[in-house]
Amino acid sequence: VLLALGPWDVYQDDSGDWHARNLLRPDGAVANITDLGDFRDGRSDHVRAIEVTGSTEIDIYDIALTFPGPPNVVTIRIVAQMPYDHDSGDWPNTHNYLCDARYTSDDYRIGLYYDTADDKFKVFINGADRLESAAQTFDAGDWCEIVVVLNFDDDNYVLYIDGLEVDTDSTSLTVPYAINWKIGTDYNGSNGGDFVIQEYQIFFVELSAAAVSGINGRDLRARWMDVLCEVAQPWAPDGTPGDRGVVASLVADGDARWRSRDGDVHVWDITSGADDETVTVDSDDDVYPVLRLTPKQAKTAGYAYRRWVPVIWTVDAAYSKYPYMLGTFDTAALVTASKAQADGDDWRVVVDGSETDRWFGDSGTAQFNQTATKTWVNLDFQAGWEGTLEAAIGSGDTVDSIDVNEDISGAASSGILVAYHGASYEAFTYTGKNETERRFTGVSRAARGTSALALSADDSVYWVQHDVWVLYGNASATAPSQDDDYKPIFDLGDSTNTSWVYEEFGEDDGLRTGAWTEYGDTYTGNRGVNANPWIEIGVDGGDQQSNRMKLYNPCGITNGSFTNGEKWVDAEDPGSSRVGVVQSSQNGSTWTDEYNVPEPASTETWEAWSRNEALASGARYLSLMGDWDSGADYDETYLEASDCTVTLDSSNTPTHEIGNEQGNYTLDCVIENTA
C-alpha cells in the first residue's frame, strides 16, 4: 500500500511495520511510524489519508527533513480533516497539534495547532504564538488547508487558511534547528488531535500569496499515470540475454498532462493592420494561449452567408480528387432574395480553410440560378471511419469526451464527428483521442451551427474528414479563377453522386477527375481514331490480350449501361463468336466476364450495339475489353461506345448534409508567436 504524503512514501514491510521514505532521497534514511491508525483509500474527493489518533504519531525526523544549514526560508502545507466540531468537548487536548518541530527548547520550535480555548489555529515560533487565525466555525468532517510561510531572512511570516491570508508577523527571529519533528501530534507525542491528514508538504521556498491561492484545493500528491508495455525483452546487462528479468519499455496511455490553471485574461485592442503585443506569463509550466477574436466593426461587405456541408466518407479505401456533388441548392430563391448573384460568381466552396475549384451543373435545373443547382468539387479522402456511441448523451449534457464501441485508430487525432439520431444530426469537434479507451477527447458539442441532440447508445457516429463550407452573398465578387484541367469529365448536369453519366471519358493529360484509363491497344475517337477529349472508349482486338478501357471507383460499381456503341470485325478468320466483353473486377487483376459482345452480322461493316449490364457484387472496376486470338490467324476487331452511364453502390458512396444558413464574418489575420 502506497501513501503519497507530498514527497514521501509511507509503506508497510513484510513484518507489518510501517515506515516513511523521502521520495526525493530514496537511498537516504528510513523513518519508522509508530501505531499507524486507520488507512483510508478510495476514489473520493480526498483519498489516501492517514487518520492520526491520540496514540498515533508519524516521526519524520530521520528522513533528512530537518532544516539543512538551517534554511532561512521554509513553507509548510498541511491538508487535514477536522475530527470534531470547532466547539466540541470531544477534543483530546487544548492544544491539538497538526505538526510540530523542536530542537532543545521552545526557543527553537515551530508548531501548528488548533486551540480549543479560542477556537483558532495558531503557529508557535521560537517561544511564542506568532500567527493565529480568526475564530473558526467548522463542523466535524470539514477539510482545511493550512499553509505557513516563514522567511527568516526578511522577517516575514504568513498564515493562510483555504488559500486566504489570515495573519502576518514581522518579528525578528532566528531560524531554529529541528530534531523532534512530528506529524499529527506535538514533538513529544502527547498532544495529538485525531486529525485525518491527507497531505503534508515542506517547501524550502517562500510561496507567494498567488501561489498559495493557486494550489488551494488541489491534490499535490504524486500523480498516477496509466502506462502500456510497448516492448519487453530479456535483461542483458553484458549484452547477453539472461533469465534474471526483463526490460520493459513503457508508453503513456492517454493524456499525461495534469497541470492546469485558470489563466490570465489579457485584452489586446488591435488598431492597425500590423500590431504586436507582449504577454509575460508567470509560470514554470508550459503555457498555451487560448485566443478569442472579437471583431469590433459590423460586417459591411464580403460574403454575407455560409452553409456547412459535412461530407461523410465511409469506404475503407483512400482516393485522391474524388469528384463529388454538393447540393442540390435552390439558388434561384437566393437570387430572388438578393442573397446571391445571378451568374453565381459569388458562390464559393471553402475546404479546410482554403477556397477550392467548383463547377455547376451545365443543363436544366442543375445550372446556377435554378431550383436544383449542382455544385461539383474534388475532395481527397483517407480510408473512412464510422462507429456507434457507447452511451447516451442528453441534449443538456456537458460533453468533454465521447466513447464509442469500435476501434478508433482509423480516425484522425483531431477533427470533426457527426452523430445521428434518426434523420437529425449533431456535429462535435475533438482535439485528441485515447485509442485504448476508444474515446475522443477535448470534445465540444453543437459545433458548426448544429444543435445539441438527445443521442442514444448505439447511435451512429462518423468521422468527417473535411471542413466544407459554401459561401455566398458578395455583390462585388467577380468570377473565380478555376483550373478546369481537373474538372470532372462526366456530364455535370445529368450525373449525381450515385450515377455518373459519360459523354466524354477522359483527356490525354490524365488530369480530369472521374476519367477512364487505357491499357493496351485502345483509341478515344470514332471508328478507330484518337480524339482529345476522349469522345469514345474504344478497344482493338487481335493477338494482344487484355486491351481494355476501364474505370475504377472505390465505392463500388453496380451497373454499366453502354449506349451508342459500334463494333467491327475483319473478314480474315471470324473464328470467335464475340468481338469483345464487358467485365468487372474487385481488385483490378482478376476479372469476371459479365457480357460477351457478339460479332457483327457482317464483316468489315460497322454495326451498332448497346448493353445495360448489372455487375457482380463487390465490383470496383468496370471494363470494356477487346477480343483476342492467339496464333498467326486472328480476327481484327474494334469495339467502342460513345456513351455510358455508371451506377455506383449507393450503400458506400459518400453522403452529406446541407447545414442551415448562417451569417458569415471572415476574419483575415495571422497571429505569430515571436518569443
Please check whether residue 43 is in contact with residue 118, taking contact to mean a CB–CB distance below 8 angstroms: no
Of the candidate ranges 176-185, 260-269, 476-485, the one whose mean pLDDT is the lowest:
260-269
Listed in sequence order, the residues at least 6 apart from 598 whose beta carbon sits closer than 8 Å to its beta carbon are 577, 578, 579
Share of the chain above pLDDT 90, in %: 60
Please check whether residue 567 is in contact with residue 574, taking contact to mean a CB–CB distance below 8 angstroms: no
Say whether pLDDT at 23 is over 60: no
Per-residue pLDDT at 317: 93
Share of the chain above pLDDT 70, in %: 81
Per-residue pLDDT at 222: 42
Per-residue pLDDT at 348: 97
CA 12, CA 271: separation in Å to the nearest integer?
65
8-state DSSP, 600 = P
- 569-611, pLDDT tens digit by residue? 986 554 568 899 999 999 999 999 999 999 999 989 999 999 9
Q: Which residue has the cell 469483345?
A: 580
Report how far Cα 392 is from the mean position of its chain's Cα atoms: 20
CA 214, CA 218: separation in Å to the nearest integer?
8
- 619-642, pLDDT tens digit by residue? 999 999 998 765 555 678 899 999
Q: Residues 602, 604, 606, 607: what is their CA dihedral angle, to the nearest 10 degrees? A: 20
- 211-233, pLDDT tens digit by residue? 888 777 765 444 455 667 777 77
Task: Give the CA distances from residue 345 to residues 303, 340, 480, in Å, rounded to whole numbers and listed in that order.
Answer: 11, 8, 7
Per-residue pLDDT at 285: 65
Say whether pLDDT at 45 is over 50: no
Nearest C-alpha neighbor of 598 from the set 609, 613, 587: 609
Span 510-528, average pLDDT:
95
Q: Which H/E stretch holds residue 352?
A: none
Say whether pLDDT at 13 is over 70: no
Say whether pLDDT at 52 is over 80: no
Task: Give the CA distances from residue 59 to residues 98, 114, 188, in Å, rounded to whole numbers and listed in that order.
Answer: 12, 20, 10
- 149-191, pLDDT tens digit by residue? 999 999 999 999 999 999 999 999 988 776 677 888 888 888 9
- 379-428, pLDDT tens digit by residue? 999 999 999 999 999 999 999 999 999 999 999 999 999 999 999 999 99
Mean pLDDT estimate for the chain: 85
DSSP labels, 78-138: EEEE-SS-TT-TT-S-SEEEEEEEESSSGGGEEEEEEETTTTEEEEEETTEEEEE-PPP--
Q: What three-state secondary structure class fits 37?
A: coil
Span 126-136, average pLDDT:
95
Per-residue pLDDT at 196: 83
The pLDDT confidence band at residue 72, using thresholds 50, 70 and 90, is confident
Per-residue pLDDT at 43: 27
Per-residue pLDDT at 21: 59
The pLDDT confidence band at residue 279, using thresholds 50, 70 and 90, is confident
Neighbours of 444 (CB within 10 A): 12
CA 347, CA 370: separation in Å to the nearest integer?
13
Say whether pLDDT at 76 is over 70: yes
8-state DSSP, 477 = P
What one-letter code names the amino acid at 218?
R
Span 455-469, average pLDDT:
97
Per-residue pLDDT at 270: 80
The pLDDT confidence band at residue 20, using thresholds 50, 70 and 90, is low
pTM reported for the whole predicted model? 0.61
What one-letter code names the amino acid at 554?
P
The pLDDT confidence band at residue 267, using thresholds 50, 70 and 90, is confident
Span 108-126, average pLDDT:
95
Of the candidate ranges 8-12, 468-472, 608-612, the one whose mean pLDDT is the lowest:
8-12
